[in-house]
Structure 1
Amino acid sequence: MRKRKLAVVLFNLGGPDGPDAVEPFLFNLFNDPAIIRVPQPIRWLIAKIISNRRAPVAKEIYGHIGGRSPLLPLTEEQARALEHLLESRAIPVEVRAFPAMRYWKPFASDTAKAIKAWAPDEIVLLPLYPQYSTTTTASSLLDWDKAAKAVGLHTRTKTVCCYPTDGKFIAAHVSLLREAIGKFRTRDEFRILFSAHGLPKSVIEAGDPYQAQVEATCEAVMQATGGGPFDWLTCFQSRVGPMEWIGPATDKEIERAGAEGKSLIVVPIAFVSEHSETLVELDIEYAKLARESGVPTYVRVPALGTQKEFIECLADLVDEARASDGLICPEEAAGRPCGEEARR
């Protein structure tokens, strides 16, 4: 009997695959209406100006990690691990997981063509953004919808919206966090900073649930870590431009920890793969800031990657989506799903 064919689409932001890709990658990012919320052709012009001005700095950043983003090969590793786990379960299904990047190759249009050629019986859309935002999940899902329609891909599709407090997602973070905690003799020595990519405050005030979901993730991790009270807080990094951003800012909290003589454990709580924000911003720029600020010890917890519980989390979400009516969203049960953009 022929196995059913299941395609899983793994959404992520993507990153430049070489120095020449840096400026067009930035242009694609800032030309997204979910990022720069002004009409065309004004948005195109703004994106052109910003990408041109930021390209030299961005090239220098990527120069620290080989001149390119590691995000695609790391996502491919997650895809292979997910395929292996799903196919090892007692389900007669052939699985292929396809990365679809928002701002660089493979674009959703490339992935939609590849999936149509493979001709699956069903598709599950799975964002590698655990916490929902209009700037990430919604943007990727809308982009996919356009791409699928453009190539005539009409296969039955289910969608995972978000999973900020999923048990295995939380367990994956707890496992890595406990390893870092074990480097210290007492909990009084250190503070835990959960660092997530920031957003302009106006995006959150417009109803985006990202900040609340990030904070819920951090709270769930600390509850699951157990062992009594810890000194910890949620903060946000990667601020750009003159707008007011959500806070507190990770760099300011590093400076405060130094002034208080506190060591730091820094957890990338919204990034599931290593990329420039972790390998350069956290590991190089913020580590230097910590030394200059007098932080006694600076420990950075790895991103989840192919950590066992995280891949199990993704596999469980795929199984749950396949058995659902179409959308997996923890907020839907309360009558307030994260976004109608996620619906099919």
Structure 2
Amino acid sequence: MMNMGGPSTVSETHDFLKNLFLDGDLIPLPFQSILAPIIAKRRTPQIEKQYADIGGGSPILHYTKLQGERMAALLDELHPETAPHKSYVAFRYAKPLTDETARQLKADGVKRAVAFTQYPQYSCSTTGSSLNELYRRGKAGEAGDIEWSVIDRWGTHPGFIEAVAQNIERALAKFPQDKRSDVVLLFSAHSLPMSVVNRGDPYVMEVSASVAAVMDRLGHSNPYRLVWQSQVGPSAWMGPQTSDAIKGLARLGRKQVILIPIAFTSDHIETLYELDLEYVKEGKELGMEIHRAESLNDSPVFIRALADLAAAHLRDYSSGKIGPTSIQLGLRCPGCTNATCGAQKSWFARGGR
């Protein structure tokens, strides 16, 4: 179960930030090996305070472990041919890092594994970066002799869409019934630099598809927009930014809003701090009634969706209906210049051989 991860304690914040800024797939920087530690050190005190404000660390490891364990238990029933199933967590920037997980796989004697992204929508800077790191570790033999396949995107899976829609319906129930249909739904996803978007990254298209599927499930009951959060640095990023959208809606007299995390599978800094402590507060200061739809966390509907995804993948792979990777994963962005990306795709397409 691959994800960005987050520091479980405040003291892990600096290492998390250093790993993040060293990743050229996520944040391309000139003289990266020199600049990344400097930027991380400068930003650490501010980000440490944010993690302290949300309870002393990110809950993403807790929820990823929980989701994985419950998914594996369901998988034993849904696809007994490959039972028993065991979930592992491989974070890109926080413990357990991919290299640690690779060594654990080898120690456990694992011979068959699925690289299962926990980003519903694909981006080269998220899922792509995690796969690149897993490829580097796998090719070096750190994970042992494993036959790999990949679940690389699932942003329109009916179970995922249902889980998100149910959380929106619970948030809508907080508004008076006669005002409910006027509430604006703001779907908020982590933004991307326009340089990444413009080279052909599919993330914006896939997040949009998720939003469209959720609104279909809700019967287009409310006005909605897709907005973007977590911009870093002065370069151009995908917009509008969530904060700017909230201010704009207030100016236009639309004072009832629900914020919906559409690209995250559990609570972490972007939901608990940015959405809850920054954006909701901004909205209330502007006289808005603003609520956030819950994250997926321990949603039984969502965990069942993960199990259904994995069971279908294992079944179709075993029968020869699909190969180790999807057709879409094999296509590099038209503007891609990252040689590791191309080598990674070929390696996984051969089952990690």
What does residue 284 of structure 1 align with?
A: 277
What does residue 44 of structure 1 align with?
A: 33
Deviation at 1:290, TM superposition (A): 0.6
Separation of aligned partners in 2, 1:251 and 1:232: 15
User: For 1:221, which of 214, 229, 249 is the aligned residue?
Assistant: 214
Deviation at 1:15, TM superposition (A): 1.2
Higher share of residues assigned strand: 1
Q: Deviations over 1:118-173 (max 9, x none)?
A: 22341111010000011110100110111223325221111011011111111111
Does residue 32 of structure 1 match 2:23?
A: yes
What does residue 131 of structure 1 align with?
A: 121
Q: 1:67 to 1:229 in 2, by over 3 A?
A: closer
Percent of aligned pairs with the same amino acid: 36
What does residue 192 of structure 2 align with?
A: 199
Q: 1:182 to 1:95 in 2, by over 3 A?
A: same
Q: 1:293 to 1:342 in 2, by over 3 A?
A: farther
Q: Deviations over 1:177-221 (max 9, x none)?
A: 122222231344310000001111111001111111111100110
What does residue 248 of structure 1 align with?
A: 240
What does residue 294 of structure 1 align with?
A: 287
Normalising by structure 1, we get a TM-score of 0.90
Conserved? CA contact 1:161–1:342, under 8 Å? no
Does residue 64 of structure 1 match 2:53?
A: yes
What does residue 82 of structure 1 align with?
A: 71
Separation of aligned partners in 1, 2:188 and 2:133: 27
Separation of aligned partners in 1, 2:72 and 2:224: 36
Q: Deviations over 1:283-329 (max 9, x none)?
A: 1111110111221x111011112312221221122123223243454
What does residue 105 of structure 1 align with?
A: 95
Q: Deviations over 1:82-103 (max 9, x none)?
A: 1111113351411110000000
Does residue 158 of structure 1 match 2:149?
A: yes
Separation of aligned partners in 1, 2:181 and 2:299: 28
Question: Structure 1: which 5+ runs fail to align?
Answer: 1-9
Separation of aligned partners in 2, 1:12 and 1:272: 10
Does residue 169 of structure 1 match 2:160?
A: yes
Conserved? CA contact 1:189–1:262, under 8 Å? no
What does residue 315 of structure 1 align with?
A: 307
Normalising by structure 2, we get a TM-score of 0.88
Separation of aligned partners in 1, 2:227 and 2:323: 33
Question: Structure 2: which 5+ runs fail to align?
Answer: 334-340, 349-353
What does residue 338 of structure 2 align with?
A: none
Q: Secondary structure of the residue that 1:125 maps to in structure 2?
A: strand
Q: 1:53 to 1:90 in 2, by over 3 A?
A: closer
Amino acid at match of 1:216: A
Separation of aligned partners in 1, 2:80 and 2:214: 31
What do you get for the CA RMSD once the two structures are aligned?
Answer: 1.9
Conserved? CA contact 1:257–1:263, under 8 Å? no
Q: Aligned pair count?
A: 329
Separation of aligned partners in 2, 1:32 and 1:204: 17
Q: Deviations over 1:236-278 (max 9, x none)?
A: 0111110111011100111122221421111100010100110
Separation of aligned partners in 2, 1:210 and 1:106: 25
